[in-house]
Amino acid sequence: MALSVLSSYAATLGRLQGKARLRSLSPRQGVDFTSNDFLALANAPRLKDAVRCAMERGVPVGATGSRLLRGNHQEHEALEAEAAEFFGAERVLYFGSGYAANSALFSTLPQRGDLIVHDALIHASVHEGIAGSKSTAVGAPHNDADAFDDAIERWRKKGGRGHPWIAVESLYSMDGDRAPLSALADVADRHNGFLVIDEAHATGVFGNGGKGLAADLEGRENVIVLHTCGKAFGVSGALLAVPGVLADYLVNRARAFIYSTAPSPLMAAGVRESLRILRDEPERRTALERLVVLLGARLESQFGIAPSRSQIQPILIGDNARAVRIAEALQADGFDIRAIRPPTVPEGTARLRLSVTLNADWSDITVMLDCLAAAMKEHSR
C-alpha cells in the first residue's frame, strides 16, 4: 500500500515531539505572566466604551475591501493623523498586524543593489519581508553596533553602491534587552543608510508619554519606526511611521498593503482611544515600572538572575524538555507561564519568558516566584 499523503507531515511532527519542540494551542488560564498586555488595556472599561461609542456612531466592524478600494475609512485616516502627531512622524500607515507591516516594509522599500543588515535576533516577520526583497541581506551579532558598521564597510569594499538598511528591535521580545539605537543611528548616517526600528515591545511602556525608546530619533528622514498595537495598546494592528514619500511608495508598491482587506475601522477607533489613554493615564506606566524593579531585585537576590530592566524577563533553562516541565508545574500552580523553545530562540537557550503586566500585582509575583523556586528544584534535570 502506498504511503499516506499525510505521512511526511506526521513524521515531521513526530520529530518535533522527540525534541520537545512540538507546539500546540492551549487556553488562557491562570494569572497572566505570558501576554503582551503590559498596561492591562485589552480589557480596560475605557477602551470598551470607546469601541461601543464608535459602533453607536456608525463605525462598521468590517472594512469591506482594501484601502485602495472601498476599505479606506475615515477612522483609518483619523488614526494615522493622530498617531503621526503623537509619535512625531511625517506620516503613519495602519496595517492589520506587525507581521504584515514588517513583511510589506522589507519586501518593498529596500531596492535592488541595497543591503539589509539585521540583528541576529530580529523578528521572524522581518525575515519574511527580506525573503521577498530584491536586496542582499546579512545578519549581525546581537546588539553590536560595530558589527553593523563592519558589515556595511565590507559590502562597500566589494562594490556595494546602494543604500544600507539597518534592521533592529528597540526592545527584544525574548531577552528584554535594548538595542544601542543612538550608535546604530550614527552608523546609518555615516553610510547614507536607513535605520528601521521595531518598537513592538517598547511602545506604550518606554519613552516620554509611552512613545517608545526611539522617540528621540523618530521623524528623521532616514528613520522608520514600527509601533504595534496588539501589545501595550491592548488592541490590534500596527502603525508604521515613515517619511511621506515612503508612505506613498508603500501605498503604490507594497503588495501586503495593496492586496489585503483593510483593518477593521472599529479597531482603528480602539487604537485612537489607546493613544488617548497613554496621554491621560501615565500612572499605568509608573505602576508597571515599579513591578519591573521589584521583580528584578527579587530575581537577583533569590535566584542570582540578572534583571533585564524591562517588562520581559527570561529565565534561561537550556534543555527543552526541562523548560516544558517547569512551565507545566507553574501552570498547575495557577500561573500562565510558557516555555519558549527553538526555533523561536537559539538552540540550547530554551527558557521561561516572564512577562510583567498590570494584570498581576506584587502579591501574585511573590507567590509565583516561590512556586518557580520549587519547580526548578523539583525539575533540576
Residue of 73, 163, 191, 201 marked catalytic: 201
Whose grid coordinates read 496588539?
A: 230
| Catalytic choice (173, 236, 264, 359) | 173
Task: Respond yes or no: is residue 114 known to be catalytic.
Answer: no
* 8-state DSSP, 296: H
If you search the block for the grid coordinates 482587506, which residue do you land on?
261
Q: Residue 313: what are its φ and ψ, rounded to 5°? A: -125, 110
Largest CA distance in the chain: 68
| Count of H-run helices and E-run strands, the chain | 13, 12
Instruction: Please pick, among 198, 199, 218, 336, the residue that the annotation labels catalytic.
Output: 198
Asked if 311 and 32 count as a contact pair (C-beta separation under 8 A), the reply is: no
Question: Active-site residue among 231, 310, 355, 359?
Answer: 231
* Cβ-proximal residues to 7 (8 Å cutoff; 6+ apart), any chain: none
Catalytic residue selected from 37, 114, 119, 169: 169
Instruction: Please indicate whether residue 198 is annotated as part of the active site.
Output: yes
Hey, what's the cell of 171?
Answer: 526592545
Quick one: three-class SS letters along 17-29? HHCCCCCCCCCCC
- How many other CB atoms sit within 10 Å of the CB of residue 51? 17
Could you say which of 118, 123, 211, 379 is catalytic? 123
Is 76 a catalytic site residue?
no
Q: Is 92 helix (H, G, I), strand (E, B) or coil?
A: strand
The three grid cell numbers given for residue 302, joined into one nine-digit string: 533569590
C-alpha cell at 34: 505570558
Question: What is the C-alpha separation between 278 and 267, in angstroms, rounded?
Answer: 17
CA separation, residue 349 to residues 26, 257, 304 (Å): 23, 36, 17
Q: What letter does residue 99 receive in the DSSP assignment? A: H
Residue type, 41: L
Catalytic residue among 32, 36, 97, 273: 36
Q: 359 an active-site residue?
A: no
The DSSP secondary structure of 145-213, one letter per residue, reads HHHHHHHHHHHHHTT--S-EEEEEESB-TTT--B--HHHHHHHHHHTT-EEEEE-TTTTTTSSGGG--T
Active site residues: 36, 123, 169, 173, 198, 201, 231
